[in-house]
Structure 1
Amino acid sequence: MDAFAHLGERVRSALSTRGFETPTEPQRRAIPTLASGDHGLVIAPTGTGKTETAMLPVFDAIASKRDSEGTPFGISALYVTPLRALNRDMRERLDWWAEELQLDVDVRHGDTTQYQRGKQADDPPDVLVTTPETLQAMLTGKKLRRALSDVDHVVVDEVHELAASKRGAQMAIGLERLRELADEFQCIGLSATVGDPEEVGKFLTGDRGCSIVEVEAGSKLDLRVLTPEVTEEDERLGGTLMTKPDVASHVRAIRDIVEANDSTLVFVNTRQTAEALGSRFKKLETNIGIHHGSLSKEARIDVEDRFKAGSLDALLCTSSMELGIDVGRIDHVVQYQSPREVSRLLQRVGRAGHRRDVVSRGTVVATMPDDTFESLAICRRAERGQVEPANIHHGSLDTVANQIVGLVMDFGDIGAMRAYDIVTRAYPFREVTREQFREVCRELSSNRILWIAEEEDRLEKSGGTWQYFYANLSMIPDEATYAVEDMASGRQVGTLDERFVVNFAQPGEVFIQRGEMWRITEVDDEEEAVKVTPVEDPGGEVPSWVGQEIPVPYDVAQDVGDLRYDARQRFEVGEDRPTVARWVVEGYPTDDHTASEALEQLERHTQAMPASDRLVVESYGREIVLNACFGHKVNETLGRLLSALLGQQTGSSVGMEIDPYRIELEVPGGTSATDVLTLLRETDPDHVASLIELSLKNADALKFKLAQVAAKFGSLKRWQGSGSRQFGRSRLLEALRDTPMYDEAVREILHEDLDVDGAADVLRRVQSGALSVETVTERTPVGMGGRSSGQELLSPENADASVIETVRERIQEDRVLLFCLHCQDWERRQQVGRVPDQPECPLCGSTRVAALNPWADEVIDAVRSGDKDDEQRKRTERAYRSANLVQSHGKQAVVALAARGVGAHNAARIIAKLREDEDDFYRDILQQERRYARTKSFWD
């Protein structure tokens, strides 16, 4: 009651009417501070009354000010949430209090009607619930600026979500723009999970001081990690679901949990997994709805309402349901496969219970040893409250560009240095230099987004200012979405992101949406549509793409390394698997069967064991694997560094795949583990950043990012012209190389996908001896135990016969360019199926015939060229490698070379494999095509 004593009589009376007799823990600790007007960050589990913790002192302050100073014209408090759907929920939660205290609460976002907006401008509410983007628009409205000048409080909900994104960086400057109108106001942040409260407090307040109240979530969790035992029912179910019995056991275990509870959320990590798992539940006629960001707003609201009403037993969802959208009471949360991050597990499992003093119950269904050990490490870190820090975007220059235009819209014209001072008051931009700021202004001016009055150093509106501003209210990349249309019915099935369409969508590919399988028949860039037909056979191919994976953090990967190492040490001293399993169960939330299943891999692993302070390099033939427990970003950075340096040394491309515990390299002949060790020991850690940037220069990932950043600078329209949206990304990269846009695109990739500092630290530790390195000359059980990207959900490990037939038919129907390297006069484009068993030149009779991509005219030009540059020499070498294969292996080589992304080196490996069945030949081709699809966006 002491906390409530800090509130005025009217609010205390409302508390009594509402039945709030005693404060919750966050209310007890935070209300006194917030009631005094201090900035505050409240971190507490879902369902502990965070909203009331923030809003009761705010309501009290508004009511008290009204009593002493009269009713102000404008808005007294803004409540900012990252999702429109949260706005709806928050309005409903606050309405009761507002009515009781005779205050007005309203909502404003992109869907608010024009009539309602006008009403809010003429008669502003006391409290306005809104989104960061709508705040941007409000700051420029004449009447709304007057209304905003009365703001005394800003509450930011789910502040961790905004702190880690450019939307949040934009909001941080937006709040500084608001201070130009309203002077100082109180900032209150709310979240269930923040790993670095002091940093997020600075983000929230512009480093103006922030009181932090943190209530540990770990004590309110009941977690377990489960790998189901395979039963006879699973053996039968595997046949029904066209999958392996152990995968069927995952589906059955989730079904059992759903049936044992009234309402369950089943979280997965990617939309692909949601669709694949959803299709299995649909086959079982389980009462589960699917909810993710690719579905239409209407489809999402429909399943939310049906779940809330109890007509659905469960929702299968991605991060779309993490942020507390009100779908009623939730009894249990299932996480399928590792949640990858502590913060994600806490956000997701925190949805269960969602009431005061109720323990949140969650089950992680683990599918393989990596998955199990990772989930155990994350659960223990969650119980200890060890949450990852927010990944704040510091100094993002496209956000600076966006907000400079916002300031010009606010004031009509503004001094450049005044604009600079406002921007750099925001915490993420405190280190932006004046020269960087000037470069951004000059770029905006050259794009005619604003004018620079040189003599006065003032920024002024231009003809393009208004249009740019309203087209760029959001910092979410303006990525096109393609409608997915069922050709048979003409109805829209859903949407696909531009990134998927550009990189992977080709006629014949199969993907899953809304739990059903579809084959692409046509991609229409002009209409932004993908036309599809349904696939009846549920054993069909899983898509050869994976959504962007949630990166496993360094600290989690280190814990996994130590857990596996400690377990292996017990095997070393003679303990059997049941004994080691009991040791795992004593320290982690799991059962004997789950622990034992994961430990089987370690029991077989008799070679050197990787750990947090030990790197194990294994090699076999052309495969070199670094067992490195450093997480996704460090391993991605190290992998790129090593493959780029090895490629430079050998003049050949180096294949790379990474996961949080391994870096797998496919190296040219003659390259050994010793070469890798030499690079680890001799590469200067201080040069990692420049080497990585060099390796990025032609990467598709950089070109795609640069196009997004250029759009936020208003530059893209200058370079796009008419025609396909896949217009010259390479030309764009060359045109923008020495601009702030290029710098920002590189910064963003380094920030989101890589960890240069972490990789440099690994090199320093190797070179100082703090990180030991051991080598083995064979593949190890742990080294071969990497993830399979969830593709096992729909098809057995050996692809279904119908899939193999589809691959065979596609390749046989594809065209190939045949070119004689002996006389260099004969070339022909021909269907693969019509190529003879041993191709030969009809002009000179030579069998030295290269099989090339049907559009590879530049390769023929390179071969015929007398004075070759470096690129032409490489193309010529590739042509001769292809011809040597065709000369030795005939049509089999042509088939392998016609596959997507295979190339002569991988074709040779596929052909050299001993196999009894031709189907296995096509299985190996399919596996290589999938591997290429997963990694091609990073390499030319």
Structure 2
Amino acid sequence: MSGSEIPSELTGWFAGRGWRVRRHQAEMLAASNAGHHALLVADTGAGKTLAGFLPTLAAFCPSWGEAPPDGLHTLYVSPLKALAHDVQRNLLTPVEEIGLPIRIETRSGDTPSDRKKRQRSRPPHVLLTTPESLSLLLSYPDSHELFAGLKRVVIDEVHAFATGKRGDLLALALSRLQAIAPDMRRTALSATVADPEGFRAWLAPWGEIDAVELVEGERGAPPEVEILLPEEASVPWGGHAAIWAIPQLYDVIRRNRTTLVFTNTRFLAEYIFQELWDANEDNLPIAIHHGSLSKEARRKVEGAMARGELRALVATASLDLGVDWGDIDCVVQMGAPKGSSRLLQRIGRANHRLDQPSRALLVPGNRFEFLEAQAAKDAVDQGQRDGEDFRPGGLDVLAQHVMACACSAPFEERTLLAEVRSSLAYSWVDETVWERVLTFVATGGYALRAYDKFKRISRDPDGTWRLTHPEHAQRHRMNAGIIVDSEMIEIRFRNGRSLGKVEEQFAASLRTGDTFRFAGMDLEVESLRDLDLIVRAARKSATIPSYMGLRLPLTTHLADRVRAILVDRVGWARFPDDVREWLEVQDWRSQLPGPENLLVESFPHAKRHYTVYYTFTGWNANQSLGMLITKRMEQQGLLPGGFVANDYSLAVWGLKPVVDPAPLLSPDILTHEFMDWVQDSHLLRRAFREVAVISGLVERQHPGKRKSGKQVTFSTDLIYDVLRKYEPDHLLIEAAWADARARMTDIGRLGDLLDTAADRLVHVELDRVSPLAVPVLVMIGRESVPQGAVDEELLLEAESLAGMAMGVGRQADQVDEEEG
């Protein structure tokens, strides 16, 4: 498309800034003009957000004719509140400088209630929101009027949520919006889509994939990625916090204007921030950002970062996506990256310009993490991305959506079914499944139908469904949502100022006078009142809250790359001496796990017999496999003592040796032991708690009161036991099983492993621990301790094991050979 086809106001604004309209930006405008939906895949810094909004800006340019009427014109959906606020900041610039008559506002859980109410009666032209807030908007009776004139929906960072339950909720919302505003066009943006065709199908109304135009952005400068290594020591054997790197990291911060330091967990963010602050002899402005901090604290940090006032910011995934801070010189990833797409996303925060390379440092916590960092670096260098597969939409999310529709207005069941099935996620729903969902929302199911509290909707003789009482609408809006974190407790000073939240489990372990560190401050507990933890400033504390929820999975793509690296002996030449020797001794004393084999090692140690399985299936799958193998070992009389897992391997020990591991890895373990284990473990109960909350069966919030985590757990456990006994095929039991199999245990990857185990199994029996087994063995006895807190102890333990596996053991073998 030529520049003349773009409004003169926009071309003039671009020229005034010394920019040009990029090809993919022009193509996005052309797709919109042609009435097409569009998926834009472009590198970070390519101006994706501006490309997504270009049709909206053009529509309000005077040279294009009369501006659209008042009312909601464009909806922007973001996975993160911070991203929506950042986009608002950046979008206001062209609007104000060109003088376009566009009002732009954000709406999320942080938005004041009076502004939310006003947004429904007098909406802005552009509303920036999240999937959850959009779903709530659709639950109001005036939603049809609000969205009737909607022209465009822009979904940013679509890869971040399309394949999960938030994506299910958004897909249902898109179907509803399309029914309200048939001419609405959908746009999705991403820098890290591995499967564009899959995302085109997800974005399109079902069966209309050809109506979604794929626009690929101009290629940017390749990122510059380096792996940081110890200057005077070796790469650690164990640990994940990489605190060995703090002095070198501090030097990096001093050399750069602004450094963004990513961690994989909130605990590590607090821990690394504390270590950096202790090293901060120059008193540089260093801050912290994660999802548990208060809204005020997050906004303050985001504002300081945008104004260029910080030298470093330690953050979690709360700032992963799309935040445009052009003055960041370097991005640091502390610990393993876990996926090439995630790493690309984080790297893109540096420089954030298409013509300048993003600079990044990867800081491995241990030797396996070094291999993972190398694999991720190779993938980034080669432009390879990874991502999750699409799966059928969750029934608990569908139940929540049905309730939202009922809160908006009575609905006809066949009409709503057609609307639901117009999304890829729910195209599989047939009339039988639909009837089960409606019955659940109407009565709670067969076993619960006697209780009035579960009777939320009723059916008229003509097939119209409506709320049984108006109060159900208020209760739905108070409790709707997809993210079910562990229950959180508010941290407050005595004057009422909020600092953020910690998990209820951590707060319950504290007593008056106990100290802990949060938001970079040392705090002392004064009291625990209801759902508030009252604190005051304290002297230095070493305790940091740990969180249960987040454990980033190792992607299959990256796991395969690590296995390929292990058997690429020529490629070891680029590794540090200590890592190369580690692999060489492993290769000499045992074998190496590669793409074509499943290595299992057995050896005695400390009067116990150990078996290590090198699965590379991720922590979740390895945890599940550990549970299953120990159960089968019990049946075989092998007297198992326990197991420990990381992303790469599983170590199991017992009083008797495993002579043949093949029977322990037979695929039928998933149909026998797995079923029994899940039924009897907390796993299914936890999954049921989540689907019960998402579906609206159990409510966390009541007017003026919020249930504690214990109360929610008690309620869901009680209902779970009733359904297990009287209605085992209940809709939510089915939904909980789907979650337990897929999300919580990575059962798909585990099934693939076991299906091929018999053909790929290589069992090596050793007389002592192998070099490759050291990283997992040093975690024994410490696996429940927050990552980072025990790194010093791990180093001491690792030195002892490493001496046996590498130094002392190798010398002994050489003596034996010489005497022979």
Same fold (TM > 0.5):
yes
1:468 corresponds to 2:475: yes
1:282 is matched with 277
1:40 is matched with 38
2:138 is matched with 139
1:450 corresponds to 2:443: no
Alpha-carbon offset, residue 676 of structure 1:
2.9
1:698 corresponds to 2:698: no
**Where in structure 2 are the equivalents of 1:284-683 lying within 5 Å?**
284-285=279-280, 286-287=283-284, 288-327=286-325, 329-392=327-390, 394-410=392-408, 412-446=409-443, 447-448=453-454, 450-453=456-459, 455-463=461-469, 464-477=471-484, 479-484=486-491, 494-498=500-504, 500=506, 512-515=517-520, 524=528, 527-530=530-533, 548-567=550-569, 583-584=573-574, 595-605=576-586, 606-619=589-602, 620=604, 621-650=608-637, 655-667=642-654, 669-670=655-656, 672-674=657-659, 676-680=661-665, 682-683=666-667
Specify every segment of 5 or more residues in structure 1 that has no aligned partner in the other structure, as ranges. 235-242, 571-579, 585-591, 802-940
**Where in structure 2 are the equivalents of 1:123-272 lying within 5 Å?**
123-207=122-206, 208-209=208-209, 210-215=212-217, 219-230=221-232, 249-272=244-267
Separation in 2, partners of 1:202, 1:295: 37
Alpha-carbon offset, residue 563 of structure 1:
0.9
Alpha-carbon offset, residue 448 of structure 1:
3.6
8 Å Cα contact 1:624-1:673 kept in structure 2: yes
Separation in 1, partners of 2:645, 2:218: 34
Separation in 2, partners of 1:770, 1:248: 38
Per-residue deviation, residues 601-628 of structure 1 (Å, max 9, x unmatched): 2233221221122222222233221122
Alpha-carbon offset, residue 478 of structure 1:
6.4
Matched position secondary structure for 1:797: helix
Per-residue deviation, residues 193-224 of structure 1 (Å, max 9, x unmatched): 11222212222223422222334878521001
Per-residue deviation, residues 733-753 of structure 1 (Å, max 9, x unmatched): 312332222222221232223
Separation in 2, partners of 1:372, 1:415: 57
1:760 is matched with 751
Alpha-carbon offset, residue 396 of structure 1:
0.6
Alpha-carbon offset, residue 449 of structure 1:
5.1
Per-residue deviation, residues 61-88 of structure 1 (Å, max 9, x unmatched): 56599737x7435322222222333233
Separation in 2, partners of 1:118, 1:548: 34
Separation in 2, partners of 1:519, 1:689: 50
Whichever residue aligns with residue 697 of structure 2, its letter is S
Whichever residue aligns with residue 54 of structure 1, its letter is G
CA 217–635 in structure 1, closer or farther in 2 if over 3 Å, else same: farther
Whichever residue aligns with residue 564 of structure 1, its letter is L
- Report the aligned-residue RMSD: 3.7
CA 631–121 in structure 1, closer or farther in 2 if over 3 Å, else same: closer
1:859 is matched with none
- Bigger drift between 340-349 and 506-515 goes to 506-515
Separation in 2, partners of 1:630, 1:273: 23
Per-residue deviation, residues 754-786 of structure 1 (Å, max 9, x unmatched): 23232222222223x255454445321101223
Alpha-carbon offset, residue 24 of structure 1:
3.0
8 Å Cα contact 1:449-1:714 kept in structure 2: no
**Structure 1-normalised TM-score?**
0.73
1:779 corresponds to 2:769: yes
Separation in 2, partners of 1:714, 1:222: 47
Separation in 2, partners of 1:165, 1:424: 17
Higher relative contact order (CA 8 A, sep 6+): 2
Whichever residue aligns with residue 257 of structure 1, its letter is V
Matched position secondary structure for 1:785: helix
CA 647–746 in structure 1, closer or farther in 2 if over 3 Å, else same: farther
Alpha-carbon offset, residue 367 of structure 1:
2.6
Whichever residue aligns with residue 201 of structure 2, its letter is K
Identity of aligned residues (%): 26
The higher radius of gyration belongs to 1
Separation in 1, partners of 2:152, 2:75: 6
Matched position secondary structure for 2:774: coil
8 Å Cα contact 2:331-2:347 kept in structure 1: yes
Alpha-carbon offset, residue 653 of structure 1:
6.7
8 Å Cα contact 1:267-1:318 kept in structure 2: yes
8 Å Cα contact 2:491-2:534 kept in structure 1: yes
**Where in structure 2 are the equivalents of 1:730-809 lying within 5 Å?**
730-737=717-724, 738=728, 739-767=730-758, 769-770=759-760, 772-776=762-766, 778-786=768-776, 793=788, 797-798=792-793
Alpha-carbon offset, residue 364 of structure 1:
0.6
Separation in 2, partners of 1:16, 1:515: 44
Matched position secondary structure for 2:419: helix
Matched position secondary structure for 1:82: coil
Whichever residue aligns with residue 628 of structure 2, its letter is L
The number of equivalent residue pairs is 755
Whichever residue aligns with residue 438 of structure 2, its letter is C
1:95 corresponds to 2:92: yes
Task: Choose the corresponding residue for 2:692, options 710, 714, 718.
Answer: 710
2:815 is matched with none
Separation in 1, partners of 2:224, 2:167: 32
Whichever residue aligns with residue 617 of structure 1, its letter is V
CA 704–94 in structure 1, closer or farther in 2 if over 3 Å, else same: same
CA 777–615 in structure 1, closer or farther in 2 if over 3 Å, else same: farther
Separation in 2, partners of 1:424, 1:380: 41
Whichever residue aligns with residue 703 of structure 1, its letter is R
8 Å Cα contact 1:401-1:440 kept in structure 2: yes
Separation in 2, partners of 1:543, 1:674: 42
1:922 is matched with none
Per-residue deviation, residues 130-163 of structure 1 (Å, max 9, x unmatched): 3323322333445552241111211111111221
8 Å Cα contact 2:620-2:744 kept in structure 1: yes
CA 751–103 in structure 1, closer or farther in 2 if over 3 Å, else same: farther
- Bigger drift between 348-357 and 32-41 goes to 32-41
Specify every segment of 5 or more residues in structure 2 that has no aligned partner in the other structure, as ranges. 444-452, 797-820
Per-residue deviation, residues 247-299 of structure 1 (Å, max 9, x unmatched): 66400111011011001101111111111111112222352111111111111
Alpha-carbon offset, residue 719 of structure 1:
14
Whichever residue aligns with residue 528 of structure 1, its letter is L
Per-residue deviation, residues 869-927 of structure 1 (Å, max 9, x unmatched): xxxxxxxxxxxxxxxxxxxxxxxxxxxxxxxxxxxxxxxxxxxxxxxxxxxxxxxxxxx
Per-residue deviation, residues 819-871 of structure 1 (Å, max 9, x unmatched): xxxxxxxxxxxxxxxxxxxxxxxxxxxxxxxxxxxxxxxxxxxxxxxxxxxxx
CA 185–650 in structure 1, closer or farther in 2 if over 3 Å, else same: farther
Whichever residue aligns with residue 527 of structure 1, its letter is D
Whichever residue aligns with residue 737 of structure 2, its letter is V
CA 557–775 in structure 1, closer or farther in 2 if over 3 Å, else same: farther
